[in-house]
Amino acid sequence: MDKEDLVRAIKDFAARGAVAREEVIAAYDEGAAAAGTAPAPIPGSVRHGKKKLGIAEVLYYIGGGIVAIGIAILVAENWTALTFPGRLAATLGASLGAYAIAVILAREERFGEIGSAFYLISALTLPVGIGVVLANAGIDTGSAGTQSLIAGLSFAFFLSSFFVFRKSTLALFGILFGTWFYFIFTTFLAGSNPLFGWTFFEYRALFAGLSYMLIGYGLERGRYASLAGFLYAFGILGFLGAALGLGGWAPSANPFWELIFPGLALATLFASISIKRTSFLTFGALFLMLYILKITQEYFTSGLGWPFALVLAGLMLIAVGYLYVYLHRKYMAA
């Protein structure tokens, strides 16, 4: 195949709606990156393969969410009136039906993101449908073991769907259900074991956040770059939130986490320059401010006096705010 044949084939596929513009651009960039000829990314520019959500897409997703909420309320309000087949049809049936519609619509580029809205309906109603089946079998759906089963089945379903259809939306739901499974299954393993309390949850959140950021970094330059923003934002939120929580509160504070946290927050601020992510800059600054307030409240109110501690904390918050604005203007703005 020569270049003209390739260009003609792309035109033909585009005319038939069989390939998206972003897919062509993503394929080009992957090949160029492999050959070392990829252009340097422009700070603040739209990355290849990253779709911006327009008003239509937002409305699709809101509509999909409202449909799912409506189904859940329908089943909840009429639980005793509905027979098992009725409950199953309203939940699992709706999920599989929405999934089938999504598969059909997602094939045609002309329908845009409508297919993703139906994937959302399917994702929200699938766990409810599985729960209906288990409840009918007399299994307690509130236990951690049963919830692990529901989360695991949902995760497996959407992960395998992703490998078949290769859609970003399916990858997103796979990640979300995988996260749910990770938390609920470890809760099931620990149960009410007194060795595994709140600190156990914080460590799980810490590693989940780290995992999100690594996956986001891995997807950033590929076909699923649209997921990177979400993964970075929630990843750093979970990571810094857990790290701040692990510091504890005086007199039972954890000195390791209390001492290391400002380093983590500052590293986040400066990492935002490297990866060009406003979410890192925002959360790094926000958590540094929270840390300053926390430390002031813990250690400086009795020694220095409450008013002086407030003045000191306020000045430090101003400094962090200025650092945020400076970094944003210099490295984030186009």
Partner 1 sequence: MKKNLPLIAGIAIPAALILFIAGSIYIPGIFIQPRYDFLYATGGFYGRPYRVVDGHLTVATGTAAAATSTIAVPMPGYPPAEETTFFVYDVAANQSREIAPADAAQLSLDTNERSPDGFTVVEGSSGGGFFPFFSGGGDYGARYLEGHNVSRKLNLSVVNGNYPYPYSFMFIGWITK
- ω before 251 within 30° of 0 (cis)? yes
Minimum distance of partner 1 from residue 202's CB (angstroms): 8
Least distance (Å) between residue 151 CB and partner 1: 10
CB 172 within 8 A of CB 209: no
The token pair that represents 237 in the structure block: 């939120």
**Cβ-contact 89, 98 below 8 angstroms:** no
DSSP 8-state class, residue 248: -
Q: At what angle do helices 278-295 and 228-246 cross, to 10 degrees?
A: 10
Residue 272 as a binder of partner 1 (CB under 8 A): the answer is: no
**Polymer length in residues for the chain:** 334
Among 200, 299, 300, 331, interactor with partner 1 by CB under 8 A? 200
Stretch that binds partner 1, among 79-87, 128-136, 197-205, 267-275 (CB under 8 A): 197-205
Contact between 185 and partner 1 (CB under 8 A)? yes
Residue 212 binds partner 1, judged by CB under 8 A? yes
What is the rounded CA–CA span in Å between residue 292 and residue 296? Answer: 6
Contact between 288 and partner 1 (CB under 8 A)?
Answer: no
Q: Provide the token pair at 272.
A: 């935002």
Rg (CA), the chain: 24
DSSP notation for 87-146: HHIIIIIHHHHHHHHHHHHHH-GGGTTHHHHHHHHHHHHHHHHHHHHHHHTT--TTSHHH
What separation, in Å, do the N-terminal and C-terminal C-alpha atoms of the chain show?
Answer: 39
Question: Per rule CB under 8 A, is residue 36 in the interface with partner 1?
Answer: no
DSSP-derived secondary structure letter, 40: P
Beta carbon nearer to partner 1, 211 or 226? 211
- What string marks each residue from 102 to 141 as x (binds partner 1 by CB under 8 A) or -? --------------------------------------x-
80 forms part of the interface with partner 1 (CB under 8 A): no
Q: Does 230 bind partner 1 (CB under 8 A)?
A: no
**159 binds partner 1, rule: CB under 8 A:** no
The one among 144, 260, 275, 293 contacting partner 1 by CB under 8 A: 144
**Residue nearer to partner 1 on the CB measure, 13 or 182:** 182
Nearer to partner 1, 231 or 313 (CB): 231
Answer for which of 60, 162, 177, 183 binds partner 1 (CB under 8 A) is 183
Q: Is 167 in contact with 118 (CB distance < 8 Å)?
A: no
Supply the minimum distance, in Å, between the C-beta of residue 88 and partner 1. 22
- For tokens 């200025």, the residue is 322
Among 10, 25, 210, 316, which residue sits at the site for partner 1 (rule: CB under 8 A)?
Answer: 210
# of chain residues touching partner 1 (CB under 8 A): 44
The one among 122, 154, 211, 296 contacting partner 1 by CB under 8 A? 211
Candidate segments 17-25, 57-65, 184-192, 253-261, binder of partner 1 by CB under 8 A: 184-192
Stretch that binds partner 1, among 60-68, 210-218, 270-278, 283-291 (CB under 8 A): 210-218
Q: Which residue of 37, 83, 193, 274 would you call a contact of partner 1, by CB under 8 A? A: 193
238, 175 contact by CB (below 8 A):
no
Cβ neighbours of residue 72 closer than 8 Å, sequence gap 6 or more? 124, 125, 128
- Residues of this chain that interact with partner 1 (CB under 8 A) are 140, 142-147, 178, 180, 182-202, 204-205, 207-208, 210-219
